[in-house]
């Protein structure tokens, strides 16, 4: 990344935070002349200041170094592009509908790649009034269990968190054109077409 591009990026991030050069300089305990020098493309922040700078500007250090914030493009049907993330240490669950950099327990989280349901991760689906009743014949031990089920349509997500020693079953309101996802703590994320599952 060129010095000029880096300076323009720092300037725009500072302005997004409604900060003056002096205010940013005070937060970082440096002179406003130093901030001005960076923004004019006459120098770069010292590596020792990057963590403090990323905190002050509310930007991930990696993205700051890349010089590209990679804003997500807003498109119709955004929920259909929903990505799931789970922490392997604490079982925390996060989602995003666009490009995201998430971390938990000090580790970077990667989006889960869905697979088709297999014999071990098959589901049964019944229509009950205005709901789907979804059940799985799956272990629910602390070492191996279904951690969540989620129904995703073009504009909604209904997510049910499950825990060991519960039954692997949920009752979820019906939504047209939706897909169901389940997550196994040992084998990952599975995706199902509910129309096909109902016909079985």
Q: Which domains does the chain have, with CATH numbers?
A: 3-66 (1.10.260.40), 78-199 (2.60.40.730)
CA 129, 132, 137, 138 dihedral sign is negative
List alpha helices for the chain, DSSP H: 3-16, 21-28, 32-39, 50-57, 61-66, 194-199
CB 127 within 8 A of CB 198: yes
Question: Mind listing the pLDDT tens digit for each residue in 83-140?
Answer: 999 998 888 999 998 778 888 988 889 999 999 988 889 999 999 999 999 999 999 9
CB 118 within 8 A of CB 184: no
Q: Is residue 75 pLDDT above 60, yes or no?
A: no
Q: Is residue 63 pLDDT above 50, yes or no?
A: yes
> How, if at all, do strands 146-152 and 115-116 pair?
unpaired
Provide the β-strand partners of residue 115: 190
Structure tokens at 37: 């020098």
Average pLDDT over every residue of 159-168: 93
């Amino acid at each position: 990344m060129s010095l000029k591009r880096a300076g323009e990026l720092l300037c725009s991030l500072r302005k997004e935070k409604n900060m003056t050069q002096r205010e940013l300089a005070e937060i970082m305990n440096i002179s406003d002349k130093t901030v001005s020098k960076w923004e004019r493309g006459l120098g770069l922040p010292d590596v020792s200041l990057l963590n403090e700078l990323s905190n002050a500007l509310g930007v991930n250090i990696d993205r700051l170094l890349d010089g590209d914030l990679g804003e997500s493009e807003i498109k119709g049907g955004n929920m259909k592009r929903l990505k799931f993330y789970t922490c392997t240490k604490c079982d925390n669950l996060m989602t995003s509908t666009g490009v995201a950099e998430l971390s938990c327990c000090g580790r970077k989280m990667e989006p889960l790649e869905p697979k088709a349901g297999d014999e071990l991760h098959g589901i049964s689906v019944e229509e009950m009034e205005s709901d789907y009743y979804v059940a799985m014949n799956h272990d629910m031990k602390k070492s191996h269990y279904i951690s969540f089920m989620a129904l995703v349509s073009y504009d909604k997500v209904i997510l049910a968190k499950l825990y060991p020693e519960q039954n692997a079953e949920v009752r979820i309101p019906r939504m047209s054109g939706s897909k169901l996802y389940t997550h196994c703590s040992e084998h990952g994320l599975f995706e199902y077409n509910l129309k096909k599952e109902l016909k079985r």
